[in-house]
Amino acid sequence: MHPLVEEAVRKIQELESSVPDGKHIVTGDIRRLSAALFRQIPDKHIENVFALCEELLEQHTWALGVIAYDFAFRMKKQYNASTYDVFFRWLKDYVRGWGDCDDFCTHAFGELLRQNKALFSKVLLWTQDKDFWVRRASAVILIPCILKNDYEGIRPLEISDRLMTDDQDLVLKGYGWMLKALSQTDPHCVEAYLTANCEKMPRVAFRYALEKFDAAARARLMQL
Per-residue model confidence as pLDDT tens digits over 74-114: 999 999 999 999 999 999 999 988 889 999 999 999 999 99
Q: Are residues 64 and 109 in the same domain?
A: no
Q: Are residues 98 and 146 in the same domain?
A: yes
Measure the CA–CA gap between 164 and 201, rounded to whole angstroms. 6
Instruction: Return the CA Rg of the chain.
Output: 19
Which is nearest to 119 in space by CA: 133, 100, 105?
Answer: 105
CATH number at residue 120: 1.25.10.90
In this predicted structure, the answer to whether residue 22 has a pLDDT above a threshold of 80 is no
Range(s) of the domain holding residue 61 = 1-78
Q: Are residues 67 and 115 in the same domain?
A: no
Pinpoint the alpha helices (H) of 19-126: 27-39, 46-57, 62-74, 83-94, 98-106, 108-115, 120-126
Q: Over the stretch 114-158, which tens digit does the pLDDT of each residue have?
A: 999 999 999 999 999 999 999 999 999 999 999 999 999 999 999
In total, the chain counts a number of residues equal to 224
What are the backbone angles phi and psi of residue 131, rounded to the nearest 5°?
A: -85, 115
